[in-house]
Amino acid sequence: MAFTQIYVNLPVGDLAAAKAFYLALGGTLNEQFTDETSAQVVLGEAVAVQLMTREQFAGFTTKEIASGTVEAINALAAESKEEVDRLVEAAVAAGGAEPRPAQDMGWLYNRAVDDPDGHSWELLAYDPTAMPDTPA
């Protein structure tokens, strides 16, 4: 089985603030799936984030909606360390928070950023051929 796209659905407290954050990550708004309770921000050819007010999100689950906890850390790969830095700085300027310092392992560079609702993301750039113990 091969999946063709990923849609990350997130509950948010302030839809406008969440949209600003994800647009600062370089996303584009898909107006077709956007209204006053929900907004789809396309982050790449096969990646979209569907932001929903908590009330809208609650219509899709019978479970308690988490708040202030981490259930998942989503990761987005960028083309370079410089692009990671640019995107994280833009995301922080748009209301995000950087919960820890950057990690640079030589072959992998990543930075963490939380959106205004505390959803955790890793932005990374890597060179798999430079990994330790990688056959030549």
Q: What is the pLDDT of residues 74-84, one digit of tens each?
A: 999 999 999 99
Q: Under a CB-based contact definition with an 8 Å cutoff, are residues 48 and 4 in contact?
A: no
Structural class in CATH, domain 6-60+73-130: alpha beta
What pTM did the predictor assign? Answer: 0.88
Sign of CA pseudo-dihedral 13, 15, 21, 26: positive
d(CA 21, CA 73): 16
Contacts of 9 (CB under 8 A, 6+ apart): 49, 50, 52, 57, 60
Domain boundary assignment for the chain:
6-60+73-130
The dihedrals phi and psi of 44, each to the nearest 5 degrees, come to -175, 180
pLDDT tens by residue, 11-65: 999 999 999 999 999 999 999 999 999 999 999 999 999 999 999 999 999 999 9
